[in-house]
A and B are shown apart, each in its own frame.
Chain A
Amino acid sequence: MIVKRNELTWFERLYLPALIGGLKVTTRHFLNTLTTKTPVTQQYPEEPTRVLPGYRGAPYLVRDQDGATKCVSCQLCEFVCPPKAIRITPPGPTGKPADRTNAEKMPEEFEINMLRCIFCGLCQEVCPEEAIFLKSDFSLTGLARNEMIYDKEKLLALGGTHSGIQKWKQKLEEAKEQEIFPVKV
């Protein structure tokens, strides 16, 4: 598409119309902010920030409706994690068994280094057990680097219980919505 550019008139080339227009805009904003006192600024630490649904904050582990660990230590998130922030220690053949039914094992230790984490959400995406979620926390602070490595207990405590999200339930509903369930032969 060819945009037709009009030649500037003699008056416009004096910069004056643009100057006066700019003065008008800035004066209006200046006086409005001065008198009506409605600046757009959010006073962050005093006013809580609104986080929209779907926001990708810090990844935490969640418990199921019975309070058991959902993670089965498959290490998919560890492998997919781009900045290698996740480190999982599997229980091994002699480790503690999973604290819920229908699971073979649970991680002995699950660490996320929040200094490395880039909040990309690939761990949540890849998790077959829906055990890790990006929550709405975004301002994580600590006084030392090792404080920023969150271990399993901390992650589970921060993640809370997700009784609403049960294994495969959502995927089932998605499949039903798409009318390909049950699979027609």
Chain B
Amino acid sequence: MAWLDSLSPQTQFVFFTLLKIACVLGPLLTLVAYAVLAERKVSALIQDRVGPNRVNLPLIGSIPVLGPFLTKLGFWHPLVDGVKSFIKEDFTPAHVRKIYFWLAPAISLVPAFLVVAVIPFGSTLGAQKMVIADLNVGILYTFGIVSLGVYGIVLAGYAANSKFPFLGGIRASAQMISYEIAMGMSVIPVFLVVGDLNLGKIIEHQAQNGWNAFPVFGGGFGLQQWLLVPCGVVSFVIFFISALAETNRLPFDMAESESELVSGYHTEYSSMKFGMFFIGEYANMFAGAAMMTTLFLGGWTLPFLGLDQPADSILMGLVHIGIFMGKMLGFMFIFMWLRWMLPRFRYDQLMDLGWRRMIPLALANIILTAAVLALTNR
């Protein structure tokens, strides 16, 4: 590693940043592919089915126990799904607005990956902080980027130049803009408690003062912690519901709603362009899960076994990354579980829930949190 030390600090920074981007994006894309498989398997189990269990690879499939097991697990399905998406005919209908039609899948994909840049997915590994960009205003950046996500869907709906995608796009834009407000307001109590916008600092604060979703967990049993429990739970629940709405997951998938709108905004898309919407949706889910883990469930920390201190060895660094992944995958499972449990909201019910329940509740929660902090701070 001598050549590394010989580089200037700036070059080292660039080198490690690029390395971290590669190390985050690669596993993230793999996880996205396997999240699709997990979704199919979870849905199968909930509906008493078997799920995908067909694809068999020539060499690995002939290993005695492992091969059939992996096939039964559907382990190779993401692989062949990807290949299928790429080699399918990429059909552009004659009536679409071409430029936007080509632009929309990319726009819906990019914000999901950009959000991951500010998420601290571990403490440290060696001398490197496990976050790609340690921004002071991490959360503001996140909200800025997340609100870009709506453009992909709106553009797709507009570009398709036909009725169902257009309706899907309109619904999605109204829904995402409404729930963004509730989402933003539900995070304000967290900032009031923590007093910092840096996501790393938020995790640090949670390690000392308890998880924001449930402050008595991991932060002692002081009066302030007990009083903050309802605030934390309410803001966590609102954020969770808004995240569901932002990622267009059931029960809020008004943008797709295949029973009414064929498949909503991506009706006219085929092959890898559709694949990019699909990847975008799942990457968005991962981004939402990572945000919730960071903001409310203490990120890479656990309040026992000394796991809440920054790592002092490579092994501990990996354990922290594992904890973060575990929490994130737990959220992904809950997303999938909810999808197969709750029916879709009607459009007016959705708007009613957003504007007349969640936003007032979030506002009240801000005032309550501020009052609790004002009364209990020394």
Contact = CB atoms under 8 A, between A and B. Distances in A.
A39 B341 CA distance: 18
Contact of A34 (B45, B47, B337, B342): B45
A43 interface: yes
Interface string B321-353: 000000000000000010011100000000000
Contact of A22 (B44, B49, B342): B342
A19 B342 contact: yes
A41 B42 contact: no
Contacts of A34: 45
Contact of B45 (A19, A22, A29, A43): A29
A113 B42 CA distance: 42
A23 B49 contact: no
A32 interface: yes
Contacts of A26: 46, 337, 340-341
B5 interface: no
A37 to B, nearest CB: 10
A29 B44 contact: no
B48 A32 contact: yes
Nearest to A34: B45
B50 interface: yes
A166 interface: no
B50 A43 contact: yes
A65 interface: no
Select the residue from B42, B44, B341 with max chain A CB neighbours within 10 A: B341
A156 to B, nearest CB: 37
Contacts of A30: 42, 45-46, 337
Interface in A25-58: 25-26, 29-30, 32-34, 38-41, 43
Interface residues of A, number: 15
A61 B336 CA distance: 51
A30 B333 CA distance: 12
A29 B44 CA distance: 10
A39 B49 contact: yes
Contacts of B42: 30
A38 B48 CA distance: 8
Nearest to A42: B50
Contacts of A40: 48-49
B48 to A, nearest CB: 5
B172 to A, nearest CB: 22
A26 to B, nearest CB: 5
Contact of B341 (A23, A32, A33, A43): A23
Contacts of B340: 26
Nearest to A28: B46
Nearest to B340: A26
A41 B342 contact: no
Interface string A146-177: 00000000000000000000000000000000
B342 A39 contact: no
B50 A39 contact: yes
B338 to A, nearest CB: 9
A71 B47 CA distance: 48
A97 B48 CA distance: 59
Interface in B273-332: none
A33 B45 contact: yes
Nearest to A41: B50
Contacts of B47: 29
A30 B339 CA distance: 13
Contacts of A29: 45-48
A12 to B, nearest CB: 15
A40 to B, nearest CB: 5
A16 to B, nearest CB: 11
A34 B50 CA distance: 10
Given A22-B341, A33-B44, A39-B50, 11 more contacts: A26-B341, A29-B45, A29-B46, A29-B47, A29-B48, A30-B42, A30-B46, A33-B45, A40-B49, A41-B49, A41-B50
Interface of A: 19, 22-23, 25-26, 29-30, 32-34, 38-41, 43
Q: Which 7 A-B pairs have the closest CB atoms?
A: A41-B50, A22-B341, A33-B45, A26-B341, A39-B50, A41-B49, A40-B48
27 contacts: A19-B342, A22-B341, A23-B337, A26-B46, A26-B340, A26-B341, A29-B45, A29-B46, A29-B47, A29-B48, A30-B42, A30-B45, A30-B46, A32-B48, A33-B44, A33-B45, A33-B46, A33-B49, A39-B44, A39-B48, A39-B50, A40-B48, A40-B49, A41-B48, A41-B49, A41-B50, A43-B50
